[in-house]
Amino acid sequence: MQWIPPLWIVDNSTSDTGVIANTDILTVAFGNRTSGTDTDAGLGLNVTDVSPGSALNLTGANTGNMFRQWEFILLLVTPDWGFGTDPTIDRGCTMLQNTTADPNNSTTLTHGSTADPTSGITWNPPSDISAMYPGGGYVGGSSGVRDFGQLTWVSFFISLGTNGIPNLMMQQRHLGGTSGTAQVLAEGIEDLQISFACDTGTLGVYDLTSLNGELDEGTTDSTRMADEWWNNVPNDNLPLINTNGFCNLPTAVRITLVARTLTQDDLIDATVTGNGPMDVENHRYSSPRPTDSYRRRVMSTTVYPRNNKPL
């Protein structure tokens, strides 16, 4: 199926309607009604073909009751969690969209080439893709199907309210259709910046033999241009994504928010240089810097994604 990134980042937005210039946009994919079990149904027959015309045969009566049309499903082989001796038993997983009109009381699921009416996107592949069943396929009786639920996308960005106050907004995205109405998540948030890091080993070259487990970051703009963090300095050259997997799965993602008071403080001299908006990551204010009497606080957190080994 089409690749679904869990995070989409727009760096230094300058043309997005309603978004304050030079702030970032973060879009996150959420799963709804996702099953917490290893498998919700077993595969009755071998699966070595994921072309739209093939059907998934489930074991047991009425096993289709768990699944709903247009939800996503995972084919997987339950791994031995490291206790076995055969490393090939864990064959990863294949994600498809269930297109069965009414799976109730059914023992089969379909994954056709019909477009999802919500998004207008055909998620399932138009033809068979061998890479979608690693290890030779999924063996009936020892493989299963998990209900992954629905997927929805929510964007977070900074917008200026009608009262002149910058707000952190959230908006549900309907791919291929009209997006939901943007809602205020928090008032007084004037900047959102996102940077990411990869342990690249030898500087500028993805070298598995020289990875040191550290995410080196410079202390000046010049040294940040050559460190293992990106979007932390203006004009930072993004890492190449190539067949060697150079930083296609970041080791860390740093999210920074700048909050300010809703009203100015009369005790702060607005003419003093430095009393004003703050430079954060690669969002820098040109000289002369604007000044004001708002109080500000910077909040930053670093997230270390799971399953971030290079392809």
Quick: pLDDT tens for 40-98.
Answer: 888 888 887 777 777 888 887 667 788 888 899 888 876 554 444 454 444 557 888 99
pLDDT tens digit sequence for 201-249: 655 455 555 566 778 888 888 888 888 898 999 988 776 654 444 566 7
Q: Give the number of residues written for the chain.
A: 311
Phi, psi (deg, nearest 5) at residue 109: -125, 145
Average per-residue pLDDT for the chain: 80
d(CA 6, CA 76): 20
Same domain, 224 and 152: no
Task: Give CA 25 to chain center in angstroms.
Answer: 12
pLDDT tens digit sequence for 265-294: 999 998 887 889 999 999 999 888 899 999
- Cβ atoms of 146 and 74 within 8 Å: the answer is yes
Same domain, 100 and 181: yes
pLDDT value for 146: 86
Same domain, 180 and 273: no
Distances (CA, A) of 8 to 145, 155, 156, 206: 28, 9, 10, 23
pLDDT value for 169: 96
Listed residue (276, 258, 241) closest to 168, CA to CA:
258
Domain that holds residue 274: 189-311
pLDDT over threshold 50, residue 310: no
Same domain, 216 and 96: no
Write the DSSP symbol of residue 47: B
Domain boundary among 187, 221, 242: 187
Percent of the chain with pLDDT over 90: 23
d(CA 78, CA 40): 12
Rounded mean pLDDT, 172-200: 85
What is the token pair recorded at 184? 């205020």
174 or 209: which carries more pLDDT confidence? 174
Going by pLDDT thresholds of 50, 70 and 90, the confidence category of residue 184 is: very high
Same domain, 291 and 210: yes
Give me the residue label for tokens 């690749």.
3
What is the token pair recorded at 213? 């487990």
pLDDT value for 82: 45
Same domain, 130 and 172: yes
pLDDT value for 175: 58
Going by pLDDT thresholds of 50, 70 and 90, the confidence category of residue 34 is: confident
Q: Which helix (H) or strand (E) holds 11?
A: strand 7-13
Domain boundary among 139, 170, 187: 187
pLDDT tens digit sequence for 123-168: 888 877 765 665 667 878 778 888 888 888 899 999 999 888 999 9
Same domain, 129 and 277: no
Same domain, 254 and 237: yes
Distances (CA, A) of 218 to 11, 138, 253: 20, 47, 16
Same domain, 95 and 231: no
Same domain, 147 and 259: no
| Alpha helical stretches, state H, 139-293 | 221-224
Domain boundary among 187, 206, 232: 187
- Cβ atoms of 72 and 146 within 8 Å: the answer is no
What is the token pair recorded at 73? 């499903």
What is the token pair recorded at 7? 């995070």
pLDDT value for 63: 77
Listed residue (118, 126, 125) closest to 176, CA to CA:
118
Same domain, 132 and 236: no
Same domain, 220 and 157: no
Domains contained in the chain, number: 2
